[in-house]
Chain A
Amino acid sequence: MERLLAVWIETLGEEKPDGSSLRDYLVVLDALTVLCPFTEPVRLGLLVLPVRGPSRFFGGEEAVLHAVRQSVRDLVGCEPSLGVADGLFCAELAARAGVVVRPGETDSFRRAQPLSVLGRKDLTTTCRRLGLHTMGSFADLERARVAERFSTSVLQLHRVARGESSELGGQRDPRLAKRLRNLRGDDGLADEQIGFFGQRGAGDDRAQAAAYRVRDRLGADAVVVASLRGGRVPEDRATLVPFGSPASAVVDDAPWPGQFRAPAPAMTLQHRVAVQLHDEHGEQISMGSRGLLSATPASLLFSSQARREVVWHAGPWPLVERWWALNRRRAHLQVVLVTGEAVLLAAELSRWWVVGIYD
């Protein structure tokens, strides 16, 4: 979960008949976006920004807090309440309490909160009768017990209490982005499928709303967006981040010396799936220090005891970064199996694993 700075401006938290809240909010948003380009509007009165990047730039979190406080004061003339913690839910709580939760202490911070912070009176009342007063005691309930007693929406709250989900449904205002855009007046292209030149269109809003619905159903990390960054091999270049997290949608497709050339596997496994590569005598094949195979591969064994004959292979291509660390010397091998599937393998010494499947 990302360390976030939440900015809570109480006077802007409510709609005013003249629309001044929204206008002031936009002013603050624009100013903070200059401080940190990943500043996110959450809902009226509340903004968040990832604090790690700016604090490197400003020289510490304290300095970022100071800069944010100063600009809100200058712009709208009121004192914001600032808080830092991991994830949107805790960051907002921290902001309302005006505390900076130290790194690694978000868990204990959340557990110490009263149950009422989840905003469900019925849950709070029922739990109080059960002798549960804090988020921590609610989190310690077994999931199955919670499921027995409450509805599925409470299960989602339970995930939040456990820290498995970083934000509460309803924390974000799905209409806010559109209202801000209307206010700015750059909503002229309100047809479907824009988004090309940086503007957002109706299609983008629909997609965003759908993504939030799935998140409400499955949890905050269920919807991910992908981007590419520099790197040599496919598994290092892919970045999958939960939808809605600030640092998404960056495609860094610059040329990279020694990059693995297309075609790339259509599946790249997030977790290493260990395999064994054997020669025709059933001996394990290892990769020597000079990046050569000890024998010709003849079969591939999966941990499930499935065994596939290798009919063709290419490589190994050693990955020369971190050459000083012998045990980090990685090499890649393409193999085609007798069944026609092609697999990208990686090896470090005699350990082999599947990196990707050319599905």
Chain B
Amino acid sequence: MAKSRLLPLGEPWKALAPDGGLRRGSTVLVQAQPGSGGLSLALSLVTEASTLGHWVAVVGVDDPGVVAITDLGVDLRRVLFVPRPRGAWAESAADLLDGVDLLVVRPPSRPSHGVARRLMDRVRERGTVLIMLCEPGAPWPLPVDLSFDITHARWATSSRLDARYLTVRMGGRGAAQRSGEHVVVLPNRKGRAAAS
């Protein structure tokens, strides 16, 4: 079974990520204040892979906005949600790692060092991509392969909400060549992610 080592990214990330995709076995961190676009950003990272037939699981997002997720381009037929894992978020995540290609996790509490270590080891072993959604107040305790830090969010409005401009600082191990700040539109008028 020839597995590609790289899972594809959609617009605008494929032009911004160091390899143009998400490396299997890697850990990605999305860090944002609650309500400022972190969830949309995390989900926008899985759209292309989802469209191409990969499975996605979303753990700890208690009220997923199904319409928005569809608009982003995620194929709902291959998404498993575990909205309220309560205390067992890490165990649920580990269970799902064996079964899906991309795993989006929002830890309900501050992740401990040991839990983070075990999860990342498991991710590397299974070749899944782990996307963590954390708040700056409860950060992921270990260095990650790729990180997205939302530093600013601004809405463009007309007679309604039109689009949101996110300023994102990218970084991570081995990502030096493309790290830095980028402004992306997420969501745009069609609910998708786009370059600004």
Q: Does B69 contact A (CB under 8 A)?
A: yes
- Residues of chain B with a CB closer than 8 A to A240's CB: 64, 66, 81, 83
Are the C-beta atoms of A268 and B36 separated by less than 8 Å? no
Task: Tell me if A's interface is mostly helix, strand, loop or mixed.
Answer: mixed
- Residues of chain B with a CB closer than 8 A to A238's CB: 64-67
Q: Does B71 contact A (CB under 8 A)?
A: yes
Q: Does A239 contact B (CB under 8 A)?
A: yes
Count of chain A residues with a beta carbon within 8 Å of a chain B beta carbon? 60
Are the C-beta atoms of B99 and A210 separated by less than 8 Å? yes
Are the C-beta atoms of B154 and A264 separated by less than 8 Å? no
Give chain B nearest CB distance to A329 CB in angstroms.
20
Q: Does A13 contact B (CB under 8 A)?
A: no
Docked complex: B90-124 residues within 8 A CB-CB of A: 91-92, 95-101
Docked complex: A206-236 residues within 8 A CB-CB of B: 206-211, 213-214, 217-218, 222-228, 234
- Residues of chain B with a CB closer than 8 A to A249's CB: 76-77
Are the C-beta atoms of B36 and A341 separated by less than 8 Å? yes
The residue on B at minimum CB distance from A229 is B66
Name B64's contact: one of A209, A226, A334, A358 (CB within 8 Å).
Answer: A226
Give chain A nearest CB distance to B133 CB in angstroms.
9
Are the C-beta atoms of B82 and A251 separated by less than 8 Å? no
Contact with B along A315-359 (1 / 0, CB 8 A): 100000000000000000010100111110000000000001111
Complex CA distance for A213 and B160, rounded to whole angstroms: 43
- Residues of chain A with a CB closer than 8 A to B79's CB: 225-226
Docked complex: B45-69 residues within 8 A CB-CB of A: 52-55, 57, 61-69
Are the C-beta atoms of B161 and A359 separated by less than 8 Å? no
Count of chain B residues with a beta carbon within 8 Å of a chain A beta carbon? 63
Complex CA distance for A227 and B160, rounded to whole angstroms: 26
Name A312's contact: one of B152, B157, B190 (CB within 8 Å).
Answer: B157
Name B67's contact: one of A204, A223, A224, A264 (CB within 8 Å).
Answer: A264
Name B155's contact: one of A213, A228, A342 (CB within 8 Å).
Answer: A342
- Residues of chain A with a CB closer than 8 A to B39's CB: 266-267, 359
Give the tally of cross-chain contacts (CB within 8 A). Answer: 200
Q: Does B164 contact A (CB under 8 A)?
A: yes
Complex CA distance for A239 and B67, rounded to whole angstroms: 10
Are the C-beta atoms of A243 and B3 separated by less than 8 Å? no
Contact with A along B74-87 (1 / 0, CB 8 A): 00111111111110
Q: Does A253 contact B (CB under 8 A)?
A: yes
- Residues of chain A with a CB closer than 8 A to B80's CB: 207, 210-211, 214, 223-225, 243
Q: Does B163 contact A (CB under 8 A)?
A: yes
Are the C-beta atoms of B43 and A266 separated by less than 8 Å? yes
Q: Does A122 contact B (CB under 8 A)?
A: no
Name B38's contact: one of A217, A261, A340, A359 (CB within 8 Å).
Answer: A359
- Residues of chain B with a CB closer than 8 A to A203's CB: 53-55, 101
Q: Which one of B67, B77, B164, B189 has the highest number of Cβ atoms from chain A below 10 Å of its Cβ?
A: B67
Q: Does A104 contact B (CB under 8 A)?
A: no
- Given A228-B76, A359-B35, the answer on whether A336 and B61 have CB atoms closer than 8 Å is no
- Given A228-B70, A263-B161, A264-B191, the answer on whether A218 and B64 have CB atoms closer than 8 Å is no
- Residues of chain B with a CB closer than 8 A to A342's CB: 35, 155, 161, 164
Q: Does B147 contact A (CB under 8 A)?
A: no
Are the C-beta atoms of B67 and A237 separated by less than 8 Å? yes
Name A267's contact: one of B65, B77, B78, B99 (CB within 8 Å).
Answer: B65
Q: Does B153 contact A (CB under 8 A)?
A: yes
Give chain B nearest CB distance to A81 CB in angstroms.
33
Complex CA distance for A227 and B83, rounded to whole angstroms: 15
Are the C-beta atoms of A356 and B53 separated by less than 8 Å? no
The residue on A at minimum CB distance from B77 is A249
Name B187's contact: one of A194, A263, A315, A341 (CB within 8 Å).
Answer: A263
Q: Does B88 contact A (CB under 8 A)?
A: yes
Complex CA distance for A208 and B78, rounded to whole angstroms: 10
Q: Does A303 contact B (CB under 8 A)?
A: no
Question: What are 20 A-B contacts with C-beta separation under 8 Å?
Answer: A192-B101, A193-B53, A193-B54, A195-B77, A207-B78, A207-B80, A222-B92, A237-B67, A261-B160, A263-B191, A266-B40, A266-B64, A266-B65, A266-B69, A268-B66, A270-B63, A340-B155, A342-B155, A357-B35, A359-B36
**A interface residue numbers (CB < 8 A to B):** 191-196, 201-204, 206-211, 213-214, 217-218, 222-228, 234, 237-240, 243, 249, 251, 253, 261-270, 312, 314-315, 334, 336, 339-343, 356-359
**B interface residue numbers (CB < 8 A to A):** 1, 3, 33-40, 43, 52-55, 57, 61-71, 76-86, 88, 91-92, 95-101, 152-155, 157, 159-161, 163-164, 187-191
